[in-house]
């Protein structure tokens, strides 16, 4: 599903060069639920951004769904994000000027679905997150947990193969966090591959596999390989 | 695939800034289209044919100094002298120089002792040589004869029995096209003036007057006032004759003050105010358009900065660069379209006022449409650069800044 080999990413400002990822290698299989932990600034978001084609690596090889990403144009990467990848962000990232219905509609319009198909998907995904009644509300009229569920609905509506979540519960209290986690587990059961960055060790443990990033590298590759073997046995 | 509905609802939540730009465009269209109408009107009026051989005519003004000056004698002697000069085609006397911006106008009536139904016409008191001197084209009837020419004192009142009119005036008075042989009257007088000839065209004293070209000629010399001569030369001889005339007129009668000008100079100086008007209005239009373009650039950049995060989110959700630029261009078009619709209404209202209060030209729909299309293009062009910049916002914006 996802295969990264010796990925490097460095950010250069006028004075300093930061190596956010160094020799980063990782494989994630179809249908896995992987949690990513690690200290702040260790490169977790950078990893998710590269995995989600939001940023391009400085070096290394990245295969997503059998496709070498390095040679893709900006346009192709946009299409791949749109069709294969769903994003869930810590800050929800709903568009404040649009109501819930229109927010979920955004990626579907870029996808080029017709009105009927879009409406069907929007209604279905709102139902899945239990917010059908709020379709015409603005994001600001919802609680944080509800907003995050809308963001999940927006990701689900495109029926992505691959869901990337960057601290999806970071801004939520524990009850709401649990609801969101349950929703993600449910989605994973239906076959969507999920990679979730989290600070919460309890949530991280609930994933099939946990990887730790320290200083831009997977800290204990052996451990995660060992876990993977257990999972496949 | 324009996202019109969500775009409109997003715009509605930012309606104040959007409305400001739309109103700015509306005002610009209202002003620019009316100014264009005026400019076009002035340009056409400046380009109007005068009907005269302007390039080869010299205009002479003289002011007699002594009280009991023999005006009629002086005029006869001057004209004889000038007509006999080699290179001179003809010369005539007149009360005003055509296209000079100064002249006389009067009301003419179709009935004697009439009070209503008057026609305004510019008139000249001249002599039987005026057609040849000005190079006019007599298209119907005949010229004045020498014995129809009258000389009167400055205090006398006299109305001659024959006139020549321009075709434009003839048509205005007699739309049936049968003016020749018909009579016109001065108000509250019952002396008939027969139209004995019609000249094709003579623009009269004021080229930008709404009725310019309504001209009536009387065969009359009124003594005592300033007198003017018009002298037409053979092509190419004007400047040489000009110099000779200065000397010869002074030589013939050194007592008087003589002033010579070419008719083309006269015409140019009459157009000076129109020229200035055209330049000022063009400058105002350019400036306004520039300011409105700057406003659009500014607002679009402001909005894009404000929505940088949202653009990143859209990119993360699959928007291509083209999707993003197009979003802002379509949004700009919606605002501009609204502004231009309002501006069209505004332009027509302002124009009604301009027509009724300041007798300015009527705004044609063609001018309005052309101005609206140009302003639309300007607003699109102004939004283009910011919209392209918006497309460069990284999708990582969605995860990086909170
Ligand atoms: N756009 C950027 N420019 C410069 N440095 C960056 C940029 N984005 C991230 N970094 C740096 O890269 C490192 C990894 O950041 P990040 O992936 O966001 O860490 P995490 O998500 O694990 O907290 C940090 O040192 C961060 O400061
Ligand atoms: Mg992070």
In angstroms, the CA B123 to CA B204 distance is: 8
In angstroms, the CA B108 to CA B102 distance is: 19
Any idea what DSSP says for residue A19?
E
Contact B14 A97 (CB under 8 A): yes
Is residue A21 predicted with pLDDT exceeding 60? yes
- Per the domain annotation, does B93 fall within a domain? yes
Q: Which residues make up the environment of ion ligand 2, defined by Cβ < 5 Å? A: A 45
Shared domain for B156 and B244, answered yes or no, is yes
| Token pair recorded at residue B229 | 């001569």
Shared domain for B183 and B249, answered yes or no, is yes
Cα of A46 vs centre of ligand 1, distance in Å, is: 6
Supply the range of the domain harboring residue B27: 4-47+272-399
Instruction: Please list the residues that pair with A212 across neighbouring strands.
Output: A37
CA distance readout (Å), A85 to A107, A117, B319? 11, 19, 13
| Token pair recorded at residue B41 | 């009107």
Number of domains in chain B: 2
Instruction: Please list the residues that pair with B186 across neighbouring strands.
Output: B108
- Per the domain annotation, does B216 fall within a domain? yes
Shared domain for B97 and B222, answered yes or no, is yes
Judging contacts by C-beta atoms under 8 Å, the chain A residues touching residue B394 are 54-55
In angstroms, the CA B310 to CA B317 distance is: 10
User: B317 CB near a chain A CB, below 8 Å?
Assistant: yes
Q: Which of B14, B319, B400 sits opposite A110 (nearest CB)?
A: B319
Query: Considering only CA atoms, which of A229, A221, A169 is closest in space to residue A196?
Result: A169
Q: Is the pTM of this model over 0.90?
A: no
Shared domain for B308 and B237, answered yes or no, is no
Give the pLDDT confidence score for residue B66 in this predicted structure.
72
Shared domain for B277 and B306, answered yes or no, is yes
In angstroms, the CA B379 to CA A101 distance is: 31
The closest residue, in CA terms, to atom 20 on ligand 1 is: A41
Cα of A92 vs centre of ligand 2, distance in Å, is: 14
Judging contacts by C-beta atoms under 8 Å, the chain B residues touching residue A55 are 394-396
- What confidence tens digit (pLDDT) does each residue in A58-86 have? 999 999 988 899 889 999 999 999 999 99
- Per the domain annotation, does B196 fall within a domain? yes
User: To the nearest whole angstrom, how far is the Cα of B392 from the nearest Cα of chain A?
Assistant: 11
Query: Considering only CA atoms, which of A187, A182, A186, A120 is closest in space to residue A155?
Result: A187
What are the counts of helices (DSSP H) followed by strands (DSSP E) for chain A?
A: 8, 10
In angstroms, the CA A230 to CA A154 distance is: 33
In a mutagenesis test of the A interface, which of B10, B16, B310, B316 is the best target, namely the one with the most A β-carbons within 10 Å?
A: B316
In a mutagenesis test of the A interface, which of B317, B322, B388, B394 is the best target, namely the one with the most A β-carbons within 10 Å?
A: B317
- What confidence tens digit (pLDDT) does each residue in B313-347 have? 999 999 999 999 999 999 999 999 999 999 999 99
Confidence of residue A227 (pLDDT cuts 50, 70, 90): low
Of B254, B289, B308, the last residue of a domain is B254
CA distance readout (Å), A31 to A49, A187, B195? 20, 10, 105
Q: Is A43 in the pocket of ligand 1 (CB under 6 A)?
A: yes
Shared domain for B194 and B76, answered yes or no, is yes
B11: closest chain A residue by CA: A97
User: B401 CB near a chain A CB, below 8 Å?
Assistant: no
- Which numbered atom of ligand 1 lies nearest the CA of A216? 14
Shared domain for B77 and B38, answered yes or no, is no
* Chain mean pLDDT for chain A: 90
Q: Are the C-beta atoms of B164 and B141 separated by less than 8 Å?
A: yes
Judging contacts by C-beta atoms under 8 Å, the chain B residues touching residue A49 are 396, 399
Shared domain for B168 and B306, answered yes or no, is no
Shared domain for B20 and B70, answered yes or no, is no
Q: What is the CA radius of gyration of chain B?
A: 32
Does ipTM top 0.85? Answer: yes
In a mutagenesis test of the B interface, which of A109, A113, A117, A164 is the best target, namely the one with the most B β-carbons within 10 Å?
A: A109
Angle at A103 between CA B306 and CA A186, to 5 degrees: 130
Q: Which residues of B156-195 are buried (b: 16+ CB within 10 A; e: fewer)?
A: eeeebebbbbbbbbbebbbeeeebbebbbbbeeeeeebeb
Instruction: Please list the residues that pair with A162 across neighbouring strands.
Output: A85, A193
Shared domain for B78 and B180, answered yes or no, is yes
Judging contacts by C-beta atoms under 8 Å, the chain A residues touching residue B1 are 109, 112
* Chain mean pLDDT for chain B: 90
Cα of A216 vs centre of ligand 2, distance in Å, is: 12
Of B254, B286, B302, the last residue of a domain is B254
Query: Considering only CA atoms, which of B385, B379, B389 is closest in space to residue B308?
Result: B389
Query: Considering only CA atoms, which of B155, B196, B153, B164 is closest in space to residue B92?
Result: B164
Tokens 């003050």 sit at which residue?
B257
Q: Which of A74, A81, A98 sits opposite B316 (nearest CB)?
A: A81
List alpha helices for B48-161, DSSP H.
71-83, 130-134
Q: Which of B310, B314, B396 sits opposite A54 (nearest CB)?
A: B396
Write out chain B's pLDDT in tens, 402 residues. Answer: 457 888 888 888 888 888 988 999 999 999 999 999 989 988 888 888 999 999 999 999 987 667 777 888 889 999 999 999 999 999 999 999 999 989 999 999 988 877 777 889 999 999 999 999 999 999 999 999 999 999 988 788 888 899 999 999 999 999 998 999 999 998 667 789 999 999 999 999 998 888 999 999 999 998 876 789 999 999 999 999 999 999 999 888 887 888 999 999 999 998 888 889 899 999 999 998 999 899 888 888 988 888 899 999 999 999 999 999 999 999 999 999 999 999 999 999 999 998 888 878 889 999 999 999 999 999 999 999 999 999 999 999 888 865
Q: Are the C-beta atoms of A78 and B320 separated by less than 8 Å?
A: yes
Supply the range of the domain harboring residue A34: 2-232
- Per the domain annotation, does B380 fall within a domain? yes
| Token pair recorded at residue B339 | 């502004």
Shared domain for B157 and B232, answered yes or no, is yes
Is residue A198 predicted with pLDDT exceeding 80? yes
User: How are strands ordered across the β-sheet holding A17-28?
Assistant: A17-28, A2-12, A59-64, A67-68
Shared domain for B144 and B241, answered yes or no, is yes
- Per the domain annotation, does B336 fall within a domain? yes
Judging contacts by C-beta atoms under 8 Å, the chain B residues touching residue A96 are 310
CA distance readout (Å), B176 to B33, B171, B182? 37, 7, 12
Give the pLDDT confidence score for residue B205 in this predicted structure.
93
Q: Which of B1, B6, B398 sits opposite A89 (nearest CB)?
A: B398
Judging contacts by C-beta atoms under 8 Å, the chain A residues touching residue B327 are none
Cα of B270 vs centre of ligand 1, distance in Å, is: 74
Tokens 């599903």 sit at which residue?
A1
Angle at B49 between CA B118 and CA B99, to 5 degrees: 65
| Token pair recorded at residue B251 | 């030589």
- Per the domain annotation, does B356 fall within a domain? yes
List alpha helices for B48-188, DSSP H.
71-83, 130-134, 167-173
Query: Considering only CA atoms, which of A61, A43, A62, A42 is closest in space to residue A52?
Result: A62
Number of domains in chain A: 1
CATH number of the domain encompassing residue A27: 3.40.50.300
Give the pLDDT confidence score for residue B65 in this predicted structure.
64
Is residue A229 predicted with pLDDT exceeding 60? no
In angstroms, the CA B206 to CA B289 distance is: 33
- Which numbered atom of ligand 1 lies nearest the CA of A44? 22
Q: Within 10 A of A132 (CB to CB), how many other CB atoms are there?
A: 15
Q: Is A45 in the pocket of ligand 1 (CB under 6 A)?
A: yes
Is residue A146 predicted with pLDDT exceeding 60? yes
């Amino acid at each position: 599903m996802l295969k990264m080999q010796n990925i490097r990413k460095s950010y250069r400002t006028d004075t300093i060069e930061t190596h956010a990822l160094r020799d980063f290698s990782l494989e994630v299989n179809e249908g896995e639920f992987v949690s990513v932990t690690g200290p702040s600034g260790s490169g977790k978001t950078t990893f998710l951004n590269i995995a989600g084609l939001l940023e391009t690596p400085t070096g290394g090889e990245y295969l997503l769904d059998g496709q070498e990403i390095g040679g893709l144009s900006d346009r192709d990467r946009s299409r791949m994000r749109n069709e294969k990848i769903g994003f869930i962000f810590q800050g929800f990232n709903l568009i404040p000027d649009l109501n819930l219905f229109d927010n979920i509609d955004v990626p579907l319009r870029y996808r080029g679905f017709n009105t009927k198909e879009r409406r069907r998907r929007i209604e279905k995904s709102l139902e899945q997150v239990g917010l059908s009644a709020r379709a015409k509300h603005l994001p600001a009229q919802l609680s944080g947990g509800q907003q995050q569920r809308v963001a999940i609905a927006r990701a689900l509506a495109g029926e992505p193969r691959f869901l990337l979540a960057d601290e999806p519960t970071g801004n939520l209290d524990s009850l709401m966090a649990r609801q969101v986690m349950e929703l993600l587990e449910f989605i994973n059961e239906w076959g969507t591959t999920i990679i979730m960055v989290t600070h919460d060790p309890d949530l991280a443990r609930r994933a099939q596999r946990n990887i730790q990033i320290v200083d831009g590298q997977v800290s204990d590759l052996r451990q995660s390989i060992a876990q993977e073997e257990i999972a496949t046995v | 695939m324009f996202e019109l509905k969500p775009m409109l609802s997003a715009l509605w939540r930012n309606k104040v800034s959007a409305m400001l730009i739309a109103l700015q465009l509306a005002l610009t269209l209202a002003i620019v289209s009316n100014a264009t109408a005026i400019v076009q009107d002035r340009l056409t009026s400046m380009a109007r044919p005068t009907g005269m051989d302007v390039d080869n005519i010299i205009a002479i003004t003289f002011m007699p100094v002594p009280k009991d000056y023999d005006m009629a004698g002086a005029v006869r002697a001057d004209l004889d002298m000038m007509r006999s000069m080699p290179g001179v085609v003809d010369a005539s006397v007149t009360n005003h120089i055509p296209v000079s911006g100064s002249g006389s106008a009067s009301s003419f009536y179709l009935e004697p002792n009439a009070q209503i139904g008057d026609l305004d016409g510019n008139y000249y008191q001249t002599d039987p040589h005026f057609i040849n001197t000005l190079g006019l084209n007599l298209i119907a009837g005949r010229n004045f004869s020498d014995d129809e020419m009258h000389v009167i004192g400055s205090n006398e009142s006299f109305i001659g029995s024959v006139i020549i009119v321009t075709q434009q005036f003839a048509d205005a008075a007699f739309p049936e096209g049968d003016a020749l042989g018909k009579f016109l009257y001065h108000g509250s007088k019952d002396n008939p003036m027969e139209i004995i000839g019609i000249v094709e065209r003579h623009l009269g004293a004021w080229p930008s007057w709404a009725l310019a070209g309504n001209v009536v000629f009387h065969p009359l010399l009124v003594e005592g006032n300033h007198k003017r001569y018009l002298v037409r030369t053979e092509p190419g001889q004007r400047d040489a004759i000009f110099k000779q005339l200065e000397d010869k007129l002074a030589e013939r009668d050194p007592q008087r003050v003589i002033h010579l000008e070419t008719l083309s100079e006269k015409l140019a100086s009459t157009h000076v105010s129109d020229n200035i008007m055209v330049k000022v209005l063009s400058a105002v239009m350019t400036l306004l358009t520039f300011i409105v373009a700057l406003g659009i650039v500014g607002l679009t950049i402001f909005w894009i900065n404000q929505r940088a995060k949202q653009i990143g989110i859209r990119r993360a959700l699959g928007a291509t660069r083209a999707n993003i630029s197009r979003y802002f261009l379509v949004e700009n078009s919606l605002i501009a379209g609204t502004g231009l619709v309002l501006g069209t209404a505004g332009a027509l209202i302002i124009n009604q006022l301009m027509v009724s209060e300041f007798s300015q030209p009527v705004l044609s729909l063609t001018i309005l449409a052309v101005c609206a299309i140009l302003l639309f293009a300007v607003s699109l062009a102004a939004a283009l650069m910011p919209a392209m910049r918006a497309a460069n916002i990284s999708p990582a914006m969605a995860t990086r800044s909170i």
